[in-house]
Amino acid sequence: MIREAFGLTVPRFMSQVRVRFAPSPTGSTHIGTARTALFNWLYARKTGGKLVLRIEDTDKERNTDAALQELLNGLKWLGLNWDEGPEVGGEVGPYFQSQRGDIYQEYLQKLKDAGRAYEKDGAIFFKLEGERYTEYDDYHKADVEKVKTQPVVIEDIIRGNVTRREERDFVIVRSNGDPSFHFVNVVDDITMGITHVLRGEDHLPNTSKHVELFKAFGVKPPVYAHMAMILKDPKVGKGKMSKRDKGALIEEYQNRDFLPEAVVNFIALLGWSPKDDQEVLSIDELIERFDLKDLQKAGARFDEKKMSHINFEHMKRLPADKYLPPAISALSKAGLVDDSTDQDYLKRVLELCQQKIDSFEALPSFSAYFFSDDYTVDPKTEKKLLKRADAAERIQEAIPALEGLETFDAASIETAIQALADEKELKIFAWFPLLRFAVSGVGGGPDLLPMLETLGRDRVVSRLKKLAASLNA
């Protein structure tokens, strides 16, 4: 498993794909971070490779244990498990950068021995190879030392070969003794046997630094895949999505009871697409179709309406055992149901709502009137319906028709109203919207007939009477 390379210990793995997700746990998890994790995970699962989770916690100030837990929770919630890393271990650990100091020292020494590192201003710089010269730099507004280096070619699955030239020495160990990101990133990728680096496009300009470092260590660089950024909704602003933007944090979807598989599905669709027009995909279907080569090169804009739609599609497909528990918990959180609620009734109501709501979040307001007589009345619907001159009359007529029903089910209700319509030479439509409004206070909802059946005769009749009374008053 271990071979000697450049006099250093480097693991050797078969020709298996090894990818890594290397977040810095600084609090909430950004949707872009989640997408990077997802694509790494998908690639590992697709190829039968391994996903390494490496924690970049070198910044002691910002990286708290709580933040780490939050990150791991987010990944678990999304269903993105890792093969090596925190909690599961692995043979190329430790998986926290804060614990890899000895390894970094070993590699730093090698660079020094090779004459590729030098100290300046208390920091240690990586020394580029090539002729040196001084030039005024407009960005820094100063003369800076540059190096005429040979260009490096970055092998990128998404973008093809990208050629770039690094022309300034860069810091690998800061004056406070901490190794820098570029340095630890490369050392870790070498020592962990990473074969493919899948990360955000914002790292593309850094990659020439990384390739220089790989070359200095005498190690072949991994294959890269730089994926495009997730951009802000243009209505909100410009640039990449920031953690302050609406919908940017996966915790938000967790808190709002979105389905993790829907979030995964939606995130996957940002910059990637299956070729066959089927967009609503399960995790397994995602793995089956996923291919790094199909990633979009341009940035994708986040669209919360589409996110809701994908969630809705997944909601509709949920089997009862997956749908009922979170649905009930959403209702009980809203104080609409408790242990004394009739379980059979609750189940029937929930089934009625499943095909209509796009999130568990929407459920309480959508179904409140099933559980309480104290529900809100939509003033717009009220105005629209009750301004009809015959409203009171129609409701009055409906009361005895429904009250006297032998069995109170959808078919009987329909027959009764139809009879009424025939008798008055009116359309059934003269009653339906009024009935819905009378029992629910709103203009929309589940299919009317089964809804009335589920509510039951007592609730329906008493609500009709109540409305009739208020209209007469």
Partner RNA sequence: GCCCCGUUCGUCUAGCCAGGCCUAGGACACAAGGUUUUCAUCCUUGCGACAGGGGUUCGAAUCCCCUACGGGGUGCCA
Interface with RNA includes 420 (CB under 7 A)? no
Tally Cβ neighbours within 10 Å of residue 413.
23
Nearest approach in angstroms of CB 345 to RNA is 19
Q: Which stretch binds RNA (CB under 7 A): 10-18, 244-252, 302-310, 318-326?
A: 302-310
Closer residue to RNA, CB minimum distance, 300 or 391: 300
Residue 48 makes contact with RNA by CB under 7 A: no
Residue 169 β-bridge partners: none
Question: Cβ closer to RNA: 270 or 461?
Answer: 270
Asked if 137 touches RNA (CB under 7 A), the answer is yes
CA distance 250 to 34: 8
Select the span of 1-9, 199-207, 330-338, 390-398 touching RNA (CB under 7 A): 199-207
Q: In 9-21, which positions are buried (b, 16+ CB within 10 angstroms) versus exposed (e)?
A: ebeebeeebbbbb
The Cβ of residue 225 has, within 10 Å, a number of other Cβ atoms equal to 21
- Of the pair 4, 374, the CB lying nearest RNA is at 374
Q: In the structure encoding, which two tokens stand for residue 415, read together?
A: 């027959």
With CB under 7 A as the contact rule, the residue among 306, 333, 388, 466 that binds RNA is 306
Q: Reduced to 3 states, what is the DSSP secondary structure of residue 117?
A: strand
Sites for RNA among residues 322-381 (CB under 7 A): 355-358, 362, 365-366
For RNA, the closer CB: 163 or 407: 163
Residue 176 or 472 having the CB closest to RNA: 176
Comparison of 204 and 328: residue with beta carbon closer to RNA = 204
Read off the amino acid at residue 207. T
Phi-psi region of 269 (alpha: psi -120 to 50; beta: other; left: phi over 0): alpha
Kindly write out the interface string for residues 237-276 of this chain, putting x where it contacts RNA by CB under 7 A and - elsewhere.
-xxx----------------------------xxxxx-x-
- 163, 151 Cβ separation under 8 angstroms: yes
- For RNA, the binding residues in 86-115 under the rule CB under 7 A are none
In order of 83, 284, 399, 404, 440, the CA distances from 451 in angstroms are 48, 36, 17, 18, 10
What part of residues 162-181 is at the interface with RNA (CB under 7 A)?
Answer: 162-165, 170-171, 174-176, 178, 180-181
Near RNA in 308-327, by CB under 7 A: 308-309, 312, 316
The Cα–Cα gap between 75 and 85 comes to: 13
